[in-house]
Amino acid sequence: MKIIKSIAFWTVILALGILVEMLGRFEYINPYVIQVLELIGINIILVSSLNIINGFLGEFAIGHAGFMATGAYLSAICTVKFHMPFALGFLAAGLLSGLIAYLIGVPAFKTFGDYLAVITLGFNMIIVNLLNNLEYVGAARGMVGLPKSTNFIWVFCATILTLIIFRNIIFSNYGRIWTAIRENTLAAEMMGINVVRSKMVAFAIAGCFAGLAGALWGHMLQYINPSSFTYLKSTDMLTMLYLGGVGSLTGSVLGAVLMTGLLEILRDLGVWRMVIGPVILVLIMLTKPLGLFGSRELKIVQPKSDREEVQKYVSHAGRKHNNEL
Amino acid sequence: MAMLEVEGLEVTYGNIRALRGISFKVEKGEIVTLVGANGAGKTTTLRTISGMTSAAKGKVTFNGKDLLKTKAHHIVRYGITHVPEGRGMFGNLTVKENLELATWTRKSKAEVKKNFERVFSLFPRLSERINQKAMTLSGGEQQMLAVARALMSQGELILLDEPSMGLAPILVKEIFRILEEINKEGTTILLVEQNAHMALKIATRAYVLETGTVVMEGSGQELSKDMRVKEAYLGG
Amino acid sequence: MSYFIQQLLNALQLGSIYALIALGYTMVYGVLGLINFAHGDIFMAGAFFGFFTAYLLKLPLIPTLILSMLLASALGIMIERIAYRPLRKAPRMSLIITALGISLFLENFTRATLGGQPRSFPKLLEIQDFTFLGASVTNLQVVIILVSIFLMLVLRYIVQNTMIGKAMRAVSDNKEVLALMGISLDTVIMVTFGLGSALAATAGILVGLAYPVIDPYMGITVGWKAFIAAVLGGIGLINGALVGGFILGFIEIFAAALLPSTYRDGIAFTILIIVLLLKPTGLLGRPVIKKV
Amino acid sequence: MSLMQVENITMNFDGLRAVQNFNLDLQEGELIGLIGPNGAGKTTVFNILTGVYIPSQGTVTFAGENITKHAPWQINRSGIARTFQNIRLFDNMTVLDNIKVAMNYQMKYKMFSAVLRTPKYRQEESMVLKESLEMLQLFNLVEKYNFLAKNLSYGEQRRLEIARALTTKPRLLLLDEPAAGMNAKESEELMHLISWIHKKFNLTILLIEHHMPVVMGICQRIKVLDFGQTIAEGTPDEIKNNPKVIEAYLGEEVDH
Amino acid sequence: ASGSSAGGSSAAPAEIKIGLSGPMTGDISDIGQSSKNAAEMAVEEVNAAGGLKIGDKKIPVKLVVGDDENKPESAANVFQKLINQDKVLGIIGPPTSKCANAGAPIAESAGTVMVSSWATNVNVTKDKKFVFRACFIDPFQGLVNANFAADTLKAKKAAVLYDVASDYNKGLAEVFRDEFKKKGGEIVAFESYSTGDKDFASQLTKIKAANPEVLFLPNYYNEVALQLQQAKRLGITAKVLGGDAWDSPKIFDLAGKDLLEGTYFSNHYAADADNADLQKFITKYKEKYKLVPDATGALTYDAIRILFQGIEKAGSTDKKAIRDAVAATTDFKGITGTISYKGSGDPVKSAVMIQITEGKYKYAATVNP
Ligand SMILES: Nc1ncnc2c1ncn2[C@@H]1O[C@H](COP(=O)(O)OP(=O)(O)OP(=O)(O)O)[C@@H](O)[C@H]1O
Ligand SMILES: Nc1ncnc2c1ncn2[C@@H]1O[C@H](COP(=O)(O)OP(=O)(O)OP(=O)(O)O)[C@@H](O)[C@H]1O
Ligand SMILES: [Mg+2]
Ligand SMILES: [Mg+2]
């Protein structure tokens, strides 16, 4: 019964994605809308991967755009220079960015807190500086002529998969370990947790998905340029993350949807858009300091509760204990 | 009129009702103690008096002045000093700086100097550690510092939240001796203690709190003989 | 030789500018643990206040400076009142993101009302050139270096030795208990922001004089650099800001002077990262011994 | 059998000698008390034993292995668990998750299994759930399984911290003032709890405590520190009557 | 285009929408602003005359502005929105290559004409049928400056200081370097900085030590002002050259007359040229916006008028026809020069070298492509 229910659920979700893709192809849905939806999906991947570090692990990374850049560039090199299929470039992007993030982790975790923040920022700046110098990828001119491989269904599936993967990791031993580190690093260590290693794994995962998002992003715009990946991009992600609610996957989705959507809707306001946008952000933070979702999750994100099992114990509670005493 | 009067005080944290309408008073010159199990609301009571927590309902007056509408830092100026639960160190400040901050409301230099001397004679350990960061003090040393800070600012009424927590037995006795001494010098004391035994011994009067309500009151002596109190708080 | 001395002087000037901005940054950080993203924009506002007082009121340097400091303080205090105070009990990150929002607001509001074109900052100081060991120095450079050291000393004195300074340091440890000492938290934080913003305005005007092109977005890059400088020196430490600022200035200048300048940013940040690896809590930061 | 040897450890902080030439030989299954005036260096000893500090001098050997320079997580895995003088729970996690975290090392599934929710994952998770609940039950916390740790009362937090330490399946348990903030009745209950887990889990326990009834009631042997140095060692009765201990620590008359 | 197109009078729309993409916010928002100003002015002029003439009807023009924030993803959104939601007939801008590169593939695949005012990056128009620009490309300006330095100034040693993170600056700098070397010159210093920097002392000290005869600063005017000032302070006496990014009236404000005295830069036109249209444009612009127009403004003005001309010539609202008409532009008398397209989207137009003397632009030389 449960299986049927979940199969039905996923079929509906997938069908929805295919439907939108089809409607888009035959221009029943405006390509503009499709593109904004794609951008939202990519932002969801970026923000939720950042959430792993900033939300669940409790560090303050401010250079996420660096990982996005490595993904975007590597995938572009694969498709443009080596004419590989996009899927390959996509995977390579994820792997490389994950690896780099892991390696960043090696030195990064000698320090912590705001010092770590500066290291991630520094990494971001170094990547941009390198790209600006690499003639092979066009340096400051960027790379043009990326195939238009990113379409709605790609983004849609990638987003859904990302969310499922993140959810499953977060509600597993790994996620609990990260949260424990966030809550009290020393106590976590006293639980036998190798904090440095766990943090590096978290970084690798976050970096990997940021790289995947970068690949999608590049192949959506068909053009990439180092200056798109500066700390300004990183701060955009931070804003979406904290707006939605750090420590909540639902929040990341909401933050990405709201920010991307809202700024798009306000686009016609011109200069004043960037005045009103921040005001809205500040107002939301003032009324909901933990972000819109705080650290709560929607029901469907939460795993099946342990309630049944627990119930068995609660009913006997106390008695057994006292007997043994 | 009593020095401190608490009437029908109610405090809620979200949907937890920590205080459900408690009333009591402290007369000038008394030592009054609040006894109760974990979570009874003792800390909450003290916090509300000193303005750290806001009340939902009720009335708290000090020498006739309404405290519930007064900000915490003004309440201090009325002459109420609070030694909070959990010590409340300024961890990155040295022992000396911690003590100095407690004299913020004191103008007279001579008086401050006198207080310093007195505090150091009561807690010689603190004078040995005068330039150590409070953060690195041992638990008990921090507790001494918290009490010392209260003595520095020398209010008319001192609220103490478990001053003996984490102290060595010899120091516990010492603390209670100090409390009696400053009380004799004219300071009124409202004391919350887990060590009900000792607290009741020095208390003029005492109140027993249970889940946010006062269930018993009487002189310290009376209550320490009461069977229910004995059973619940003094142990076997 | 004169080449080297010239570069040294260049580094001193750039370093003292970073130091100036980092001072205010680090002070607010030390008190509230807040990475005040808006600091760079108060710096920008300070420069604009200077611009307008000098142009509209035709005031000379010192009155312009004082007036701009006052205006910037007012702005800083207002921002604190409106946007940060309600978040006192909120987690630190909410505050940081709010600061980011305020930063964007200040930039774009200035852009929307005053336009995006750069403006030339009035020449409030007659600039004189000297030659020093074959290198060129200006009186302004000397002023900037001295002012940054002077302000560091003043600030250090305030924070270390005065009661308000002690109260400021106590805020980051325990806000609640501060009130129990009879100290108004609001006042302490207000003073902090007032001071920090006045420092930012001073920097804004000195930078306006040294690099006389100002625009609404001038605070972004400098703000980040100041943050980095503050962290490099050991964030929250007043003398750390000065040291961090100077070191960052040196790194940037000499990375470009001795190596290909196209890689300057990359090299500068690599050095920064290496420094943080060797001294994980900044150059002057003491390693924290956790007492548990 | 000797479980742990602490030989000659000394700890200096900026010229302050917090612990001096401390020695300890712990036999498997012992329950030993560590007492002493405030600032005597008791917590510092715990911090050294658990890798939070590396001693300026001396060695710590646990189950035949030199662990002096091991990190806390390695030390925990070799079988030592502790509680803290200032409670350190995972405040924003549920009571149940606090316990589950302590079982992290007993879970062997990999990221891959977690993502795909493989049978291995399910099986281990349900094992963990079951064991965690059993542990909560022992400590009378099952009903609060879904509370955030920070919302527990003080006494409950103490119990949760002990439960969490036990869940890592240690051979040696270090308790730092577990009865602080408890009234006489509560500390009496705690005393029973400790001696009960001591037997039930067949543990070796080292206990720091200022509540004399607790210490005297359950410890087999007591070690007294003052100014970083051992000033006395012996059975509760010996300690109670040791004049040095009375002078430095207990005060004139011993409170019942 | 003939009357055979679908643009019969019944199908003629009530208004013609033209899109404009540019950075209205962000650190180069003044570039977006002057694009917008110039485009609005051109639209007003056309509408004052009743609108664009299509067949025998005059149809008013409406300008739809989109803020691309100088971010490629925003430019892509702006393009999609302009094309698919606002249904514009053509798009002007974006002025920055970064955004133009993101917009171009969208315009191309939607078959909508795009005329960029100031995207000088070679790649923008590459392999595109619907993408045009009104400015010349990076290599051309680099070449013009290199030739001028070598041939006219007879310099042997040149130094360059440019923004490494901006493709315009970098493009000019590199071409200049290569061309100058080809001419037998020596590049004694090739230094860079990053966008947003205000302190160039280190690089300039290095340049000073290399003792060049010519210093090439292919940077934006606000940075050039600081660079000139710092170069002077450090005692650099080389002749200074620059590109069309210098062209802003603000440069006098920011750098001052003295520092600019005797410097040269390449540009599309010389303000003192006896180009009546140009003079008219400048006067009108000044009157309307209380500002002197800069290069972006002038180029935008030309770009939109090229598009207008194309639409009128096509005589229909058929986008393909408009494209063909724009591609056939020959000898368009723009205020920034005479423009023709010969098989690609890059204009064939000549450049001038301008010398600044006594606070005025003075024509120095014309260089033909
Ligand atoms: N910040 C808070 N948020 C939510 N509930 C709280 C908070 N502080 C206290 N409580 C709850 O209010 C009740 C009273 O707590 P209080 O701290 O006043 O008890 P207490 O008598 O001081 O107990 P203890 O002896 O453990 O210190 C308890 O149920 C406690 O869980
Ligand atoms: N990190 C540190 N830096 C400096 N001094 C320290 C540090 N940690 C502990 N100390 C000092 O070492 C001494 C021993 O501290 P410790 O915490 O071990 O005492 P304790 O015996 O646990 O006392 P208590 O019973 O009060 O908790 C104290 O005087 C304390 O001030
Ligand atoms: Mg309490
Ligand atoms: Mg201790």
Cβ-Cβ contacts under 8 Å, E289 against chain C: none
| Edge-to-edge strand list for the sheet holding D204-208 | D80-82, D172-176, D204-208, D31-35, D221-226, D229-234
| A315 found inside a domain | no
At what angle are helices E97-110 and E72-80 packed, to 10 degrees?
A: 30
| CB burial string B138-167: b at 16+ within 10 A, e below | bbbbbbbbbbbbbbbbbbbbbbbbbbbbbb
- C interface test, pick of E167, E174, E197 with most C CB neighbours within 10 Å: E197
Three-state SS for E337? strand
Profile chain D (256 residues) by mean pLDDT over runs of 10 residues: 92 90 93 94 95 94 94 95 94 94 92 90 92 91 90 86 95 93 83 90 94 92 93 94 91 59
| A213 found inside a domain | yes
Task: Please state the domain count of chain B.
Answer: 1
ipTM of the complex: 0.91
Which chain D residue has its CA at the smallest distance from B193's CA?
D183
| CB burial string E210-220: b at 16+ within 10 A, e below | bebbbbbbbbb
Task: Check CB contact under 8 Å for B141 and D37.
Answer: no
pLDDT of residue E273: 61
Contact status of C34 with chain A (Cβ, < 8 Å): no
Q: C119: which DSSP letter?
A: E
Phi/psi of residue B26, each to 5°? -125, 120
Question: CB–CB of B181/B196 below 8 Å?
Answer: no
Strand spans (E) along E80-128: 90-92, 113-116
**Residue A1 burial (C-beta neighbours within 10 Å; 0-12, 13-18, 19+):** exposed
Q: Which two tokens stand for residue B80?
A: 């109420």
Cα(D83) to ligand 3 centroid in Å equals 20
Task: Check CB contact under 8 Å for A278 and C104.
Answer: yes
Q: Does position E5 have pLDDT exceeding 50, yes or no?
A: no
Cα(D184) to ligand 3 centroid in Å equals 15
The answer to which of A180-189, B85-94, E269-278 has the lowest mean pLDDT is E269-278
pLDDT of residue D256: 44
Residues in chain C: 292
Residue D243 CB coordination number (10 Å): 9
Cα(B189) to ligand 4 centroid in Å equals 28
Contacts of residue E121, defined as CB under 8 A and 6 or more positions apart, other chains included, come to A141, E97, E100, E101, E137, E138, E167, E168, E171
pLDDT digits (tens, 9 = 90+) for B22-57: 999 999 999 999 998 888 899 999 999 999 999 999
Contacts of residue E302, defined as CB under 8 A and 6 or more positions apart, other chains included, come to E117, E134, E332, E334, E335, E336, E339
Residues in chain B: 236
Neighbours of chain C (3+ CB pairs under 8 A): A, B, D, E
Contact status of B131 with chain D (Cβ, < 8 Å): no
CA angle C18, C22, C25 (to 5 degrees): 150
| CB burial string A125-161: b at 16+ within 10 A, e below | bbbbbbbbbeeebbbbbbbbebeebbbbbbbbbbbbe
CA angle E314, E317, E318 (to 5 degrees): 80
Q: Does position C178 have pLDDT exceeding 70, yes or no?
A: yes
**Residue B95 burial (C-beta neighbours within 10 Å; 0-12, 13-18, 19+):** buried
More confident residue, B108 or C73: C73
Task: Please state the domain count of chain A.
Answer: 1
pLDDT digits (tens, 9 = 90+) for A8-44: 888 888 888 888 888 888 878 889 999 999 999 999 9
Strand spans (E) along E219-274: 239-242, 264-267
Q: Which two tokens stand for residue A60?
A: 């303050």
CATH class of C2-278: mainly alpha
Across the range E166-174, mean pLDDT stands at 91
Around ion ligand 4, which residues have CB less than 5 A away?
A: B 138-139; D 43, 85
- Separation CA A259–CA A272 (nearest Å): 16
Give me the CATH number covering residue B217. 3.40.50.300
Which chain C residue has its CA at the smallest distance from B85's CA?
C177
Contact status of A72 with chain D (Cβ, < 8 Å): no
Cβ-Cβ contacts under 8 Å, A189 against chain D: 71-73, 76
Beta bridge partners of E53: E58
Nearest to C116 among E33, E197, E199 (CB): E33
Cβ-Cβ contacts under 8 Å, A141 against chain E: 97, 121-123, 167, 170-171
Q: How confident is the model at residue A305 (pLDDT cuts 50, 70, 90)?
A: low
- Separation CA D32–CA D22 (nearest Å): 15
- Separation CA E176–CA E243 (nearest Å): 11
Name the nearest CA neighbour of E13 among E55, E76, E68.
E55
| CB burial string E325-358: b at 16+ within 10 A, e below | bbbebeebebbbbebebeebbbbbbbbbbbbbee
**Domain range holding A73?**
2-304
Task: Check CB contact under 8 Å for A279 and C105.
Answer: yes
- Separation CA B47–CA B53 (nearest Å): 5
Q: How confident is the model at residue E271 (pLDDT cuts 50, 70, 90)?
A: low
Across the range A52-79, mean pLDDT stands at 95
The residues in B 179-208 lying below 8 A from D, measured between CB atoms, are 194-197
Q: Does position A319 have pLDDT exceeding 90, yes or no?
A: no
The 3-class SS string of C86-112 reads HHCCCCHHHHHHHHHHHHHHHHHHHHH
If phi over 0 gives left and psi between -120 and 50 gives alpha, with beta otherwise, what is residue C288? Answer: beta
- Separation CA B28–CA B3 (nearest Å): 5
Contact status of D180 with chain B (Cβ, < 8 Å): yes
Average pLDDT value over all residues in chain E: 90
pLDDT digits (tens, 9 = 90+) for C208-259: 999 999 999 999 988 888 888 998 998 889 999 999 999 999 999 999 999 8
Residue A176 CB coordination number (10 Å): 25
- E interface test, pick of C117, C129, C224, C250 with most E CB neighbours within 10 Å: C117
User: Closest Cα to atom 24, ligand 1: which residue?
Assistant: B38
Task: Check CB contact under 8 Å for D142 and A169.
Answer: no
| A320 found inside a domain | no
pLDDT digits (tens, 9 = 90+) for C122-158: 988 888 888 888 888 899 999 999 999 999 999 999 9
Q: CA Rg, chain C, in Å?
A: 19
| CB burial string E158-195: b at 16+ within 10 A, e below | bbbbbbbbbbbbbbbbbbbbebbeeeebebbbbbbbbb
Q: Which residues line ligand 1 (CB under 6 A)?
A: B 13, 16, 18, 36, 38-44, 85; D 153-154
pLDDT of residue E8: 40
The 3-class SS string of E147-194 reads HHHHHHCCCCEEEEEEECCCHHHHHHHHHHHHHHHHCCCEEEEEEEEC
Cα(E336) to ligand 4 centroid in Å equals 81
**Domain range holding B124?**
4-233
- Taken in order of first residue, the domains within chain D and their CATH numbers are 1-79+170-256 (3.40.50.300), 89-168 (no CATH)
| A319 found inside a domain | no
DSSP code per residue over chain D: -EEEEEEEEEEEETTEEEEEEEEEEEETT-EEEEE-STTSSHHHHHHHHTTSS--SEEEEEETTEE-TT--HHHHHHTTEEE--SS----TTSBHHHHHHHHTGGG----HHHHHHT-HHHHHHHHHHHHHHHHHHHHTT-GGGTTSBGGGS-HHHHHHHHHHHHHHT--SEEEEESTTTT--HHHHHHHHHHHHHHHHHTT-EEEEE-S-HHHHHHH-SEEEEEETTEEEEEE-HHHHHH-HHHIIIII-SSPP-
Q: Does position E337 have pLDDT exceeding 90, yes or no?
A: no
| A192 found inside a domain | yes
Beta bridge partners of D11: D19
Q: Which atom of ligand 2 is nearest to the CA of C289?
A: 1
Helix segments in chain C, DSSP class H: 2-32, 39-56, 61-79, 92-114, 139-161, 163-173, 175-180, 185-210, 218-233, 238-258, 264-278
Contacts of residue A319, defined as CB under 8 A and 6 or more positions apart, other chains included, come to none
Name the nearest CA neighbour of E61 among E20, E99, E100.
E20
Chains D and E touch (3+ CB pairs under 8 A): no
- Separation CA D94–CA D87 (nearest Å): 16
Query: Closest ligand to D182 CA?
Result: 1
Cβ-Cβ contacts under 8 Å, C291 against chain B: 135-137
- Separation CA E345–CA E124 (nearest Å): 9
Contact status of D242 with chain B (Cβ, < 8 Å): no
Average pLDDT value over all residues in chain C: 91
- Separation CA E265–CA E295 (nearest Å): 12
pLDDT digits (tens, 9 = 90+) for C61-119: 999 999 999 999 999 999 999 999 999 888 888 898 999 999 999 999 999 999 888 89
Neighbours of chain D (3+ CB pairs under 8 A): A, B, C
Contact status of C97 with chain A (Cβ, < 8 Å): yes
**H-run or E-run covering B201:** helix B196-202
Cα(E131) to ligand 4 centroid in Å equals 75
% of residues, chain A, pLDDT over 70: 94
User: Closest Cα to atom 7, ligand 2: which residue?
Assistant: B136
Give me the CATH number covering residue A265. 1.10.3470
If phi over 0 gives left and psi between -120 and 50 gives alpha, with beta otherwise, what is residue D137? Answer: alpha
Across the range E160-189, mean pLDDT stands at 93
pLDDT digits (tens, 9 = 90+) for E30-57: 889 999 999 999 999 999 999 999 888 8
The most distant pair of C-alpha atoms in chain E lies apart, rounded to whole Å, by: 72
- Separation CA D38–CA D208 (nearest Å): 11
Q: Which residues line ligand 2 (CB under 6 A)?
A: B 129, 132, 136-141, 166; C 289, 291; D 13, 16, 18, 36, 38-44, 85
3-state DSSP helix/strand/coil % of chain B, to nearest 5: 40, 25, 30
pLDDT of residue E1: 34
pLDDT of residue D251: 83
Beta bridge partners of D2: D27
Task: Check CB contact under 8 Å for B166 and D180.
Answer: yes
State which of B22, B33, B35, B38 you would mutate to test the pocket of ligand 1, scoring each by most atoms of that ligand within 8 A of its C-beta: B38
User: In whole angstroms, how far apart are CA C76 and each of A128, B230, C80, D84?
Assistant: 33, 58, 6, 41
Q: Does position C289 have pLDDT exceeding 80, yes or no?
A: no
Task: Check CB contact under 8 Å for C117 and E28.
Answer: no
Cβ-Cβ contacts under 8 Å, A114 against chain C: 35, 231, 235
Residues of D in CB contact (< 8 Å) with C are: 13, 43, 47, 52-53, 84-86, 88
Cβ-Cβ contacts under 8 Å, E199 against chain C: 10, 13-14, 17, 211, 252
pLDDT of residue E9: 41
Kindly compute the dihedral angle of the four CA atoms of residues E82, E85, E87, E91, in this order, to the nearest 10 degrees: 0
The residues in C 100-119 lying below 8 A from A, measured between CB atoms, are 100-105, 107-109, 111-112
Residues in chain A: 325
% of residues, chain B, pLDDT over 70: 99
pLDDT digits (tens, 9 = 90+) for D181-223: 788 888 888 899 899 999 988 999 999 999 998 999 999 999 9
- Separation CA E124–CA E98 (nearest Å): 9
